Structure 1
Amino acid sequence: MRAYQVTDHDQPAALADLPRPSPGPGEVLVRIRACGLNFADLLMQNGKYQETPPLPFTLGMEVAGEVVETGAEVTRFAPGDRVAVFGGQGGLAEFGVFDAARAVKLPEGMDAVAAAAFQIAYGTSHLALDHRARLAEGETLLVLGAAGGVGLTAVEIGKVMGARVIACARGADKLEAARAAGADHLIDAKTDDIRAAVRDLGGADVVYDPVGGEQFTAAFRACNPEARYLAIGFASGDVPQIKANHLLVKNISVLGLYWGGYLSFRPEVLTGSLATLLEWYAAGKITPHVSHVLPLEDAAEGLELLRSRASTGKVVITID
């Protein structure tokens, strides 16, 4: 089978021919049809992600496809079942073996591209806004990086939860994507004063921040008393340092969120969230936004779209 492998953190990943794997106890073998790319893939390729596997490994954290074979002790799935899986790695390949506990059956009408774009982006935003920040109807949500893979889902979910959403992104095209996802107000991170613009709109009760850097400083200063600040990631490359005394003045809470971490200590939170999201999808409340669909041969181009921030929503690799 073909797989997009990392063999050296100082060299780009490349296609390789590998033996087709077989499932062990509690595992499923999946014929992968689509794989969603994530910023974490870039970090993993360079050995900088918190859960980078030992070399060599295959990139690709989330996939959709069909079950081909089940290992011993697997009772929830059978060959032919259409599934999505958050495997953490191994997705940019024709076949993959995954823990059956990480797989979910797809609802009717959800194709492989939508499913591969779904789990991490929507799961991250839903757990952050609902479970961590307890976003309430009528509150003001500020979303930084609002046209990115997770940012657009935060805009969409914020609206489903009844919030007033301020979307901050770079440039007119990305702001239009955020507007189409339901944003009530738009801020151009390239030209606008983020702090002043948010304060003119009454301040933020919850901030969703996958960017960090200077935008963190501006958004933090635009928080209302008792605001909840969600640290999702640091796409800017700059991890902000928070002065504890600044938290005291407005009674602000800073909340971290690592979606995949719930698999190890509270998996029921993650699976419950995903069940809610699939219900919302079936009801037409949320729709994955995929700006680029590329074949496996162009996986490097897909990763570059993330690195250069040239995409909106998700980039998905299809595997024929």
Structure 2
Amino acid sequence: MKKRVLITGAAGFLGSHLSDRFIKEGFHVIGMDNLITGSLDNIEHLMPLENFEFHHHDVSSFVHIAGDLDYILHFASPASPIDYLKIPIQTLKVGSLGTHNLLGLARAKNARMLIASTSEVYGDPLVHPQVEEYYGNVNPVGPRGVYDEAKRFQEAITMAYHTYHNLETRIVRIFNTYGPRMRLNDGRVLPAFIGQALRGEDLTIFGDGSQTRSFCYVDDQVEGIFQLLMSDYAYPINIGNPDEITISQFAEEIIKLTGTQQKVIYMDLPKDDPMQRQPDITKANEVLGWSPKVDRSKGLKITYDYFKSLPKDRLNKTEHKNFSSFIK
């Protein structure tokens, strides 16, 4: 019998790549997504496969899966500022009610569960680079609080199930990840820059550009997540690329990559936007033997070629959806 894995958020960027990986590894993949921010385009190639099935469902409501289940990967959550600022209640619910529902399912099925946490649990960090033992500097009532605190609660309830119910759990703290299937214009810096470059627009930097980010290619991220799931380590682990770069430097890399001549324009920095992002991956290296392999120049070329291949209507289309029917 093939091992069965439930992947929530399967139609999203990371969820779809994880679905690919588990299909490749010989698993039966059950993808679940309510499609608020995910797209069926990302998993269309999996639909005909015997080892893939898709459930259109919101995990904030009770989750039922018939039959055995070996693993659950919880990746259902808005992940970009445009999304979670538009649907703050849904963001909080998927991190709290959704996680609770899936932990209950994992307990009922005796399945191992991995949750997708984020570097945002560190907030605007006062420790650099960020180590897993750092508790963070988060504003719970600021505009980013709905996402940051949803993820912090998600970690807490997951560890509670591990401690009090002896449930096998894993927690991955994901740093900035990029690659094909990202959404243009979703508020994250890399697709925003590439989208602007392809449309011939000026590149927009929020703040003075001195803030830093560290970008991990999606294949490296998926490999780290897979290794963590298969490990026996229950505490949070950073998975990201420690190669730190300022936003201004990154804008220059994008301009050079695309061969365009845009200007860079500066706008006010959003409230609570972190000034530094760099993972300390010592633990990932020691516990999992993991470190990123894909150089940023190579990963950016692959990502740029993907975006360049999209139809022109996708390049010009904004990602501002009407979420009113989902907000409760």
Q: TM-score, normalised by structure 2?
A: 0.37
Q: Which has the higher helix share?
A: 2
Q: Which has the higher strand share?
A: 1
